């Protein structure tokens, strides 16, 4: 990547949290301490630079090692493999704080922890766990997750990426698209069909002949995150790189449940940042002789923002508690992901209105969050697909196959 000159913002990040219903009472001291450490990390390592990174479509690769150092990669993975050994609410709080900084930054961490480390831990061999997980946890290695294809997004079962048993290795062919981290990834957890049409996970390493990762350019969203493709042209994959623990579409969908849970928390962070910016601006901006925060319509917007954030916090906390107890189902996670991202996107739009013309500039975080959330509302299951997952649960009738 070419050298890019990054401007450090002179604005101080003074965020102290949004907690109208004293939801902190539901958190343990350890969970609050973890949140505080990640909040401080974001204030130091992300907030001062994020607007310039986004404006210049620059992914700061050095953030990978910093995420590893602060424990943002695989916090829910056991300590023996380099993870944090933390509970799911702690994981959610980490994602919330990182996404308050930027959704693209949270995407980098989400993919590493939930879509690369999680399947290797859950479905991998002990040799695979010991080989990859500590390096992924520390940020020494960056990973990506290959499920979506150019012609198969919401319908991953239709994938055409495939591998054949060649005796002493597998031969992998196909392509994946919209893959976060791919241009810089050292490994990819790739989902492909065998000769019987059964889906399996394979660990593909950078440097394997025929494996390329073209970068996706000209994005209006997640501009500080790197996105690309995965292309496999007769890639020889060693047999020991097959994930042996589980096959079928259920395996990658389990990974997506973990990632969607993190998104449900992360979106709250983006919403909080927009709300706090709008609240402060409403008290500083004078029109008709008084702060615009004194007008009814602005107060209505702020009151609705705070209400929706609070509802989302309670939803995320309850699903987190269910995750910790092993009771959370895909439908619960779907509800939280869909509701909380939709909530955040609506708050970003209302916050932009409060900021007036200033809301479209990089002086404030609003448009960056809004553009980012347009991706978040689509990836890891679209807004409409999550509605239909819930609809199927309610009626027992599958609306899509």
Instruction: Give which of 393, 305, 385 is closest to 337, Cα–Cα.
Output: 385
Can you give the pLDDT at residue 395? 97
Would you write out the chain's pLDDT as a tens digit for each of its 401 residues? Answer: 457 899 999 899 999 999 999 999 999 999 999 999 999 999 999 999 999 999 999 999 999 999 999 999 999 999 999 999 999 999 999 999 999 999 999 999 999 999 999 999 999 999 999 999 999 999 999 999 999 999 999 999 999 999 999 999 999 999 999 999 999 999 999 999 999 999 999 999 999 999 999 999 999 999 999 999 999 999 999 999 999 999 999 999 999 999 999 999 999 999 999 999 999 999 999 999 999 999 999 999 999 999 999 999 999 999 999 999 999 999 999 999 999 999 999 999 999 999 999 999 999 999 999 999 999 999 999 999 999 999 999 999 999 87
- pLDDT score for 2: 55
Q: What is the pLDDT of residues 344-395, one digit of tens each?
A: 999 999 999 999 999 999 999 999 999 999 999 999 999 999 999 999 999 9
Residue 364 near residue 352, CB atoms below 8 Å: no
By the 10 Å C-beta count (0-12 exposed, 13-18 middle, 19+ buried), 189 is classed as: buried
pLDDT at 401: 73
Would you tell me which CATH number, out of the four given (1.10.260.40, 3.40.50.10860, 2.40.110.10, 3.40.50.970), belongs to the domain 143-247?
Answer: 2.40.110.10
Tell me: domain 23-138, CATH 3.40.1440.10, correct? no
State the catalytic residues. 380
Task: Name, in order, each residue with C-beta under 8 angstroms of 378's C-beta and a sequence gap of 6 or more.
Answer: none
Domain boundaries, the chain: 23-138, 143-247, 250-395
Interior angle at CA 373, CA 158 and CA 249, nearest 5: 20
Does 250-395 carry CATH code 1.20.140.10? Answer: yes
Cα separation, 308 vs 347, whole angstroms: 9
pTM: 0.97
Q: Looking at residue 1, what is its pLDDT?
A: 46
The CA distances from residue 81 to 31, 131, 182, 325, in Å, are 21, 9, 23, 22
Please answer whether residues 257 and 301 qualify as being in contact, where contact means their C-beta atoms are separated by less than 8 angstroms: no
For 302-314, the pLDDT digits (tens) are 999 999 999 999 9
């Amino acid at each position: 990547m070419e050298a890019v000159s990054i401007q450090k913002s002179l604005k101080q990040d003074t965020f102290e949290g949004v907690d109208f219903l004293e939801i902190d009472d539901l958190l343990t001291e350890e969970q609050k301490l973890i949140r505080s450490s990640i909040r401080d990390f974001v204030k130091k390592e992300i907030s001062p630079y994020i607007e310039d990174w986004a404006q210049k479509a620059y992914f700061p690769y050095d953030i990978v090692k910093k995420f590893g150092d602060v424990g943002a990669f695989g916090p829910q993975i056991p300590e023996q493999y380099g993870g944090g050994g933390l509970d799911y609410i702690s994981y959610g709080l980490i994602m919330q704080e990182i996404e308050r900084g930027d959704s693209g930054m949270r995407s980098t961490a989400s993919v590493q922890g939930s879509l690369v480390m999680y399947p290797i831990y859950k479905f991998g061999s002990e040799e695979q766990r010991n080989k990859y997980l500590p390096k992924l946890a520390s940020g020494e290695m960056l990973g990506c997750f290959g499920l979506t294809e150019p012609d198969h997004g919401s319908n991953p079962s239709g994938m055409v990426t495939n591998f054949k048993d060649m005796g002493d290795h597998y031969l992998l062919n196909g392509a994946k698209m919209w893959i976060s981290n791919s241009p810089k990834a050292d490994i990819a957890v790739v989902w492909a069909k065998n000769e019987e049409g059964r889906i399996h996970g394979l660990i593909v390493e950078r440097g394997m002949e025929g494996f390329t990762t073209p970068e996706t350019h000209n994005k209006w969203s997640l501009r500080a995150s790197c996105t690309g493709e995965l292309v496999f042209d007769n890639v020889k994959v060693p047999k020991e790189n097959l994930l042996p623990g589980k096959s079928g579409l259920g395996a990658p969908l389990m990974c997506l449940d973990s990632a969607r849970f993190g998104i449900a928390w992360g979106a709250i962070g983006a919403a909080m940042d927009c709300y706090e910016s709008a609240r402060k601006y409403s008290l500083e901006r004078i029109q008709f002789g008084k702060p615009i925060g004194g007008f009814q319509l602005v107060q209505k917007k702020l009151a609705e923002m705070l209400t929706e954030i609070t509802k989302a916090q309670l939803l995320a906390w309850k699903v987190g508690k269910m995750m910790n107890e092993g009771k959370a189902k895909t439908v619960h996670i779907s509800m939280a992901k869909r509701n909380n991202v939709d909530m955040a996107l609506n708050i970003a739009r209302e916050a932009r209105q409060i900021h007036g013309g200033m809301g479209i500039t990089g002086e404030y975080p609003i448009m960056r969050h809004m553009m980012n959330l347009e991706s978040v509302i689509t990836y890891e299951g679209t807004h409409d697909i999550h509605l239909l997952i819930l609809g199927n649960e309610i009626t027992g009738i599958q609306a899509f196959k």
